[in-house]
Amino acid sequence: MSIDRRQALTKIIGLSTAAAGVALMGTSAFAATDADGNYRLEIGEKLKYVPLDAMKTAKLAYETGGGCMHQVFHSIITMLAQSNSIDVDKFAAIPTALAGYGWAGVVGQGTLCGNLNAAGMLINILDDINGQNDAIIGASFRYYETQDLPLSSAEFITGIGSTAEKTLEVGSSSIANSPLCHSSISNWSAASGKPFAKKGERCKRLSASLAYHIVELLNRAYGGEDISALPEARPSEEAQACQSCHGVSETMGPAASVKTDMECTTCHTGHFN
């Protein structure tokens, strides 16, 4: 299909003929395009989510290479680029290859898991979903921290197009206890007896599991569910207790200010027990 740039611009920005004269004067119409008139995502811009098939997305994530962050980001963006969102063309224009840096906790550093990095990168550009965007990010992080992963039911394994035979390569599921790639991998290694170098199938399935869960959360929020009301969208009760003194805008006396929803006691012992 070939459309000239003016047509593309009109299509993407959705200008009506009547509004075109006015809108073209506005900075935002120009800011969202490069000098040649090609659409380019702008900082602060938000794109419309529509519900996706969670299992199809998980299967695509499983089949997609390029590391865990790319698997999750690319699969969900690709599904949205083929959806009935009014922003399909904008989703299609996003260079998902940029997410390739997220493998093994940011280019091999073992810090933030790429699956969660992808959740943040994605949800940050999604238009408001019934006020639940932040809660979905929180719920994705807490899910990754607390759940026994990757998902390993027969239904899920068939759904993503894997096999029971490949489950032998996973060895064992495990709980990360943290959003860090390092703890996720090392707890899996402790559970399965396998080294980092053998993580292939396990991490592919983990990305499929996270893509599945993130899409489910997005769909549920779209359907009107109050994700923020669920305990799994919030820090644990223990972490909330720590935050009550180690606040973001105020702290108790000399207590240092803390801005994180991670589980504190995986790294700190806590000091009142």
Stretch binding ligand HEC (CB under 6 A), from 6-14, 46-54, 154-162, 240-248: 240-248
Residue with Cβ nearer ligand HEC (127 or 134): 134
268 binding ligand HEC? (CB under 6 A)? yes
1 binding ligand HEC? (CB under 6 A)? no
- For 167, the token pair is 């489950």
142 binding ligand HEC? (CB under 6 A)? no
Cα(93)–Cα(78) distance, rounded to whole angstroms? 10
Residue with Cβ nearer ligand HEC (225 or 232): 232
Residue 249 CB, nearest approach to ligand HEC (Å)? 15
Residue with Cβ nearer ligand HEC (105 or 159): 105
Residue with Cβ nearer ligand HEC (162 or 183): 183
Q: Site residues for ligand HEC, window 170-209 (CB under 6 A)?
A: 178
147 binding ligand HEC? (CB under 6 A)? no
Compute CA distances 164 → 88, 173, 201, whole Å. Answer: 36, 14, 12
| Sequence letter at residue 149 | L
Cα(37)–Cα(153) distance, rounded to whole angstroms? 48
Give the count of residues interacting with ligand HEC (CB under 6 A).
Answer: 25
Residue with Cβ nearer ligand HEC (182 or 198): 182
Stretch binding ligand HEC (CB under 6 A), from 29-37, 91-99, 164-172, 248-256: 248-256
Residue 244 CB, nearest approach to ligand HEC (Å)? 6
Residue 236 CB, nearest approach to ligand HEC (Å)? 9
Number of neighbours of residue 260 by Cβ within 10 angstroms: 14
- For 54, the token pair is 């969670």
Cα(243)–Cα(103) distance, rounded to whole angstroms? 30
241 binding ligand HEC? (CB under 6 A)? yes
Cα(137)–Cα(53) distance, rounded to whole angstroms? 19
Stretch binding ligand HEC (CB under 6 A), from 82-90, 140-148, 188-196, 238-246: 238-246
Cα(28)–Cα(33) distance, rounded to whole angstroms? 9
Cα(261)–Cα(247) distance, rounded to whole angstroms? 11
Cα(122)–Cα(125) distance, rounded to whole angstroms? 6
244 binding ligand HEC? (CB under 6 A)? yes
Nearest-5° Cα angle at 97, 102 to 56? 90
- For 196, the token pair is 């980092």
86 binding ligand HEC? (CB under 6 A)? no
259 binding ligand HEC? (CB under 6 A)? no
For residues 76 and 214, the answer to whether their CB atoms sit within 8 Å is yes
Chain positions contacting ligand HEC, by CB under 6 A? 178, 238-239, 241-246, 252-256, 258, 260, 262-268, 270-271
